[in-house]
Structure 1
Amino acid sequence: MDTEQRLQKVEELKRGLKSRQALFTKAKSQSEAAVKASFIVAEDVAKSAWPFTEGEFIKNCMLKVCDAVCPDKRQLFLNVSLSRNTVAERVDQLSTNLKQQLVGKGKDFIAYSLAVDESTDTSDIAQLSIFIRGVDSSLCITEEFLGLRSMHGTTTGQDLYEEVSRCVNEMGLPWEKLVGLTTDGAPAMCGHRSGLVARIRERMREENVTGELTAYHCIIHQESLCGKALKMEHVMSTITRAVNFIRPKGLNHRQFKALLGELDTEYGDLPYHTEVRWLSQGKVLKRCFELREEICLFMESKGKDTTELRDETFLCEMAFLCDITSHLNVLNLQLSSLTCTVQ
């Protein structure tokens, strides 16, 4: 080749190299975008508490939308892996990353407190939930879910202490910076000698911690105890009898709903109240107070005595209890939102 031919050949090779590099860069960016997309979907699946197999269903929906909107981009959507194993792996990686971030933040805490609650799931296995609230030197507060420990054996104060201690040590949190502990008030938690609080205080003495550990009682359980001292059982029992007369019986329920429709009321039905769902009490009281006239009319048409429901003193007590439970329900929902989270 002469000089000119050599220069042309060099330019041709350069263009071929740049073309291959551009193709590789494009493929790499597409691969990174596909992985990022799979992480985004896996996070939403975890937050929604859906089965990991839902990833495949979501991908099928995405492909159908792609075929209708942008069929030329179908391959990009096909590159997003959302199989059950992939979603499980992504969720595990997200969990590990969040834990690493929390460990990093924990090193900057100047003080932290723990909240511990033990309950039994549907398979009769005790689950110990541990939450942490820490503050750094800049007064930035971090509130996170620290750990969930399954307890297949006993749930004594010693067992609870061992799980909490193991969780604190794994996170590298110093005992001397622990200033508060909130429990649900159960004997295994608050026992003076062998409860969780007593054993953590003993551990802090062994670590030569000079500060005093402040133990708190769960505010929701405090409300439950205070509620028993209000002497308002007669109000709730009367309302419960009225609701149970209307809701469980199919004919009465249908007729009551028809009556509300004829009167064009704001609400079309009454909710149930159960002791397990503590938020239902406030909802039932509020609805019954707003439909008190309609309830009395319906019960009177069935020959039931409504003297107590029309009593002025009873209505005042019912209104008071309705307002109190409404405020407490709002507070409890705010507290629950602070401690949740697959969330």
Structure 2
Amino acid sequence: MLSKKVKVSDKAQEASYLIAELVVKSMKPHTIAETLILPACSAIVKTKFGSEAEKEVDESTDIGGMAQLLVFVRYIHDVKIVNQFFCCKELKETTTGKDIFSTLSEYLKSVGLSWQSCVGICTDGAPAMIGSIKGFVSLVKKENSSVITRCFLHREVLVAETISNDLKSVLGKVVKMVNFMKSRLLKSRLFAKLCEELEAKHLNLFYIRK
């Protein structure tokens, strides 16, 4: 039974990453995963396997039905960018933005840190995280108004906004060229044919939004 549960968990995590990759490649808002993909998966599973199986689609809880808050940190140490696991806390009752904020605030205090040390937050588009009044991000900004927030799937947008003017000019031209190629199917096919004749490694371009 334990082996089965572990395998299911691994498969669920792999599926989650694959869905996240599809969302990024399609250049859709990250919230589509919560507003469309998850409900669609729930409807499919419920129809084919029943209500009990539908409950396992919710990946916000562990196999015991408890909500787990996982936090990772990224910081610079000796001119190197370090990604490190920060903490895992159980949300015993509700999972509102206030609950998440309170739980993480208590942990920060216990390790001698404060929200003033936080530069940016990467999160998903769940209402509990980005709600304008009681969302986790809003509560953090009350403690530190300079915190930058971005979706964890679109961190490249933050880089694009902070690059130098010279690089931004080049990026702007690249965006225009890519969008021109992707604006019509005929243009995409002709471009793919050109790449094939030049023996290029890739034949297609991803659509880029400004």
**For this structure pair, what is the TM-score category when the shorter chain's length is used for normalisation?**
0.3 to 0.5
Greater RCO between the two (CA within 8 Å, min separation 6)? 2
TM-score w.r.t. structure 2 length?
Answer: 0.46
Q: Which has the larger radius of gyration?
A: 1
TM-score w.r.t. structure 1 length?
Answer: 0.31
